[in-house]
Chain A
Amino acid sequence: MNSPLEKSAKREVSFIVNGEERNLFPHPMERLLDVLRNDLGLTGAKEGCGEGECGSCSVLLDGMLVNSCLVPVAQANGASIITIEGISTHDLMSPLQQAFLECGGAQCGICTPGMILAAVHLLEKKPEPALSDIREGLAGNLCRCTGYMQIFEAVARAAQPRMAK
């Protein structure tokens, strides 16, 4: 695929994924997405476009929402990464995941992991988002199935319990 891979020497990279420390020995230019999927078996992050347009490979890198297809794995050294697999705990869905399920926020499901991470990121920054905040916050994540309306509803519903407090 990308020729830098063959030229660069492998090196050690360490980071924390979903709370667990991982030590790897990849090509530094390998895409974080491929390392998560192929080396760590975390297949929740998906490749939709490979150029940072669709957001289906979104993960949280030190709290920032990034397209993992654009991040060389070396750049993640020392970072803390959250993937969709880190959002539900012990088989218990988060309120956001529950809301996606109830509101019809997931159809084919391929954009859903990235979309949910974008929503997590949004709700961390803005716990009580207006509709315009939700639209802006999810603008980097494409969904071809839903027309987004039920995704907005899911994010708003997940935010409600906090807003009620």
Chain B
Amino acid sequence: MNVPHIVGASAPRKEGRGKVTGAARYVDDMVLPGMLHGATVRSSVARGKIKKISFGPGVDWKEFVVVTAKDIPGKNCIALILDDQPCLAAETVNHAEEPIVLLAHVDRHKLRKAVEAVSIDYEPLPSVHSMEDSERKSTIIWGNDNILKHYLVEKGDVDAVWKEAAHIVEGEYLTGAQEQLYIENNGVIAAFQPESGVTVWGSLQCPYYVHKALMALCGLPENKVRVVQMETGGAFGGKEEYPSMIAGHAALLAIKSGKPVKIIYDRVEDMVATTKRHPSRTRHRTAVSKEGEILGGEIEFTIDGGAYATLSSVVLSRGTIHAGGPYYWPSVRIRTKAVATNTPPHGAFRGFGAPQSLFAMERHMDRIAQVVGISPIEVRRRNFLKTGQTTTTEQTIQENIDLDGLLDRALELSNYDAKKKRFAEENRNGKLKKGIGIAAFLHGAGFTGSGERYLNSLVGLEAGADGVVRVLVSSAEFGQGTNTVLCQIAAEALGLPYENVAIAQPDTAVVPNSGPTVASRTAMIVGKLVQSAATGIKETLAKSGLLGEDYTPDQFRFACREHIAAHGALKSYSRYESPGNVYWDDEKYRGEAYAAFAWAIYVAEVTVDLTTYSVTVNDFVALQEVGKVLNPVLAEGQITGGVAQGIGFALFEKVVWQDGRMLNNQMTNYIMPTSVDLPPIRVFFEEHGNVHGAHGAKGIGELPMDGPAPAIVNAVEDATGVRFDSIPLLPEDLLEALNDKSGERDLLSPVRGMA
């Protein structure tokens, strides 16, 4: 049969019609009979012992459902990795805005007053509000040493390289917290019935994370917890771990009241209480030859994990492995740690540690270029990883990569050389200074090291008597195109039109655990499993003699109908199998960190206005090698969206902290890019393929978050001749830096804080 290839075509988004007509159902659009509304009473101090909880006058408390830690039927924790975060603080609080009491009422207008009428007395305890404070250990707030996790990567003999070095180049680089700012705030509805248990509908990324957390919290067996993902209005990592918390809260209220309970955060609560990108500090000390080749170096990477361990160990891991960038290090020592502070826990956000350590690496490459006296282009060319060389974790690059070629194309697309020359000329006069900067980087797809083996993902396909095949996965759609791409892969494998494949709503009562929707793993890993499950359906029908090698959709439908009539439901499952010979040592952090890397070169052109101190990005070229592009329109949308968030990370989005609490928790004073703030974002792909992914695809979701910030700050340095090593870089920061007469910002001055 002759079905045109659907993989590689821009199939329209499966759930797109609902989204453009307003018919798509998000959790706040859902109402259950007799439903109550829930609200959360949170701590007003950063750290302290809870002495007394009082329910003040002016509220008829009999009307309210009230839940505290005492009402928790199971274990008071959000089960994730270390299970150290309570669902409701019982005796002590460890950060501002920590949940303590839950309230529910049928009239949501009455909740705000009731929340305000709950007063909590604390015995204050000393608190820690910076990484440096945490490292000093004068106040211990977590474990024995405030260290949530640390890693050490060692390759070669780095101690031997310093004496050979023509230059030793040092730098310290900082990145700030960043809010995911999905436009749909966190929200869930929970219902409870003694016979069937707890059901939760929510805005979330990982149905089985919530499932696991609810089992522990409610003390219920697997079959008495059901989690359903509703249409989800953006996530970006921000709905990876926190939905377990809010789902737990709604479930506790539902269990106590016997009624369905809806909790929808408003923007100020979502911003002040939920996770953000980990702030980071990276220190580089690099031994470089006269020609600008890296001989070896030391990298220290530290992230602020907040008050509980949550996902910090995994974020740190990705940041650690990406810290060396797309370069060859003959020797390196990478020491990294996540430290505790009395701040709401930082969490998953697109890129997951890599944007932080890659910002440092790519700023540091420009600094090496300055010290050696070569161009930013040349220093990268002299150090690019090549096929057959090993990464910092000693993973041999097997794929045929050509970073030089990628760089050549990016320079041409951005007209780099001509612009560089022109800007140098034009910048001599006037208040508008133009600059151009590049960033080269990589992003590993899928879980790190042994992660995919532990996940052991399972994917199902079910063919109906109508000949329509449903994809059964827990992988969630939240804008990236999961539904569409997985249906394309199934349609292609089955030789059916795209319209004959549908995707099941992620519901743990219906779909198997295909793993969390994170880590740029869905198209590559889950997609491959969909492909093999599809083969299973075909084989089953062929074995029973109902289907030949060549068939029409009608013949397929007929075969399904016959098979189902004779044998019942027609399903095929496929479980993850580790590609053989993958070596990874979790202790030494050595081996094959990722099944595949995507590679990219981004070029940013900026104008710095010395009157207003604003930075405008005028042009942005994003060139990447991502294996097979499964759906060009969706893939391009992933890149433009990621670049926009990266521009926000670099130039707009500053979280202002006071005693571990976000002060600017509104869209009015936490600023993300609008439609007038962004340059043309020009997206280009190279497709070299990848043996591990469906049709040769690699992950792309997180990649575009890594490159914009360093490319832009490199461009700002090019425009001004002043060094900037910290983001976000707002006009007030530029004003201060450009008027700094200390000389510390000069391009060749030594770096503060380094030995």
Taking beta carbons and an 8 Å cutoff, which residues of A are in contact with B? 1-3, 5-6, 37, 42-51, 53-54, 56, 83-85, 87-88, 93, 97-98, 100-113, 116, 134-136, 138-152
Contacts and interface: CB of A to CB of B under 8 A. Distances in A.
B480 interface: yes
Interface in B663-680: 666-668, 672-676, 678, 680
A135 B736 CA distance: 31
Contact of A147 (B22, B29, B640): B640
The size bracket of the interface on B is 35 or more
A56 B570 CA distance: 42
A143 to B, nearest CB: 7
A135 B676 contact: yes
Interface string B176-211: 000011111100000000000000000000000000
A53 B667 contact: yes
Given A108-B234, A150-B636, A50 B267 contact: yes
Which 9 pairs from chain A and chain B are nearest by CB? A44-B22, A110-B233, A109-B19, A108-B479, A147-B644, A84-B22, A107-B479, A147-B640, A53-B667
B28 A47 contact: yes
Nearest to B642: A147
Given A108-B233, A150-B640, A88 B21 contact: yes
11 contacts: A93-B21, A97-B21, A101-B17, A102-B10, A104-B634, A106-B16, A107-B234, A108-B233, A138-B675, A140-B674, A147-B643
B732 to A, nearest CB: 21
B94 to A, nearest CB: 29
Contacts of B13: 101, 104, 106
Given A111-B183, A112-B20, 15 more contacts: A1-B109, A49-B666, A51-B668, A56-B183, A88-B21, A106-B19, A108-B182, A138-B675, A142-B667, A144-B182, A144-B183, A144-B236, A144-B645, A147-B640, A147-B673
Contacts of A144: 180-183, 234, 236, 641, 645, 672
B108 A1 contact: yes
B640 A5 contact: no
B3 interface: no
Given A51-B667, A107-B480, A145-B234, A139 B674 contact: yes
Nearest to B268: A50
Interface string B42-78: 0000000000000000000000000000000000000
Nearest to A102: B12
Contact of A43 (B22, B636, B676): B22
Given A109-B24, A109-B479, A146 B185 contact: no
B9 interface: no
Nearest to A88: B21
Given A48-B184, A101-B13, A149 B109 contact: no
Contacts of B233: 46, 108-111
Nearest to B23: A44
B633 interface: yes
Given A6-B109, A85-B22, A110-B233, A142 B674 contact: yes
Contacts of B236: 144
B645 to A, nearest CB: 7
Interface in B109-158: 109, 111-113
B640 to A, nearest CB: 4
Nearest to A150: B637
Contacts of B185: 47-48
Nearest to B231: A109
Contact of A50 (B111, B266, B641): B266
B641 A147 contact: yes
A140 B642 CA distance: 20
Interface string B1-33: 000000000101101111111111110110000
B681 interface: yes
Contacts of B267: 48-51
B122 to A, nearest CB: 27
A100 B234 contact: no
B641 A145 contact: yes
Contacts of B112: 1
A134 to B, nearest CB: 8
Contacts of A106: 13, 16, 19-20
B676 to A, nearest CB: 5
Contact of A46 (B23, B184, B266, B675): B184
Contacts of B480: 107
Contacts of A56: 183
Given A50-B267, A142-B667, A145-B234, A108 B16 contact: no
Contacts of B111: 1
Contacts of B231: 109
Contact of B184 (A45, A83, A108): A108
A148 B644 contact: yes
B186 to A, nearest CB: 12
Contacts of A142: 183, 667, 672, 674
B556 interface: no
Interface in B571-621: none
Contacts of B12: 101-102
Nearest to B634: A104
A5 B266 contact: no
A147 B678 contact: yes
Interface in B96-116: 108-109, 111-113
A107 B617 CA distance: 24
Contacts of B182: 108, 110, 144
A68 to B, nearest CB: 13
A91 to B, nearest CB: 8
Contacts of B21: 44, 84-85, 87-88, 93, 97
Contacts of A105: 20
B475 interface: no
Contacts of B667: 48-49, 51, 53-54, 142
B441 interface: no
A148 B637 contact: no
Interface in B656-711: 666-668, 672-676, 678, 680-681
B232 interface: yes
A81 to B, nearest CB: 14
Contacts of B26: 43, 46, 110
A8 to B, nearest CB: 12
Contact of B20 (A37, A46, A116, A150): A116
B633 A150 contact: yes
B478 interface: yes
A53 B642 CA distance: 21
A97 B645 CA distance: 25
Nearest to A134: B675
Contacts of B183: 46, 48, 54, 56, 108, 110-111, 142-144
Contact of A141 (B23, B636, B666, B675): B675
B672 A107 contact: no
B171 to A, nearest CB: 30
B665 to A, nearest CB: 11
A104 B675 contact: no
A7 B620 CA distance: 53
B494 to A, nearest CB: 24
Given A1-B112, A85-B22, A146-B637, A110 B675 contact: no
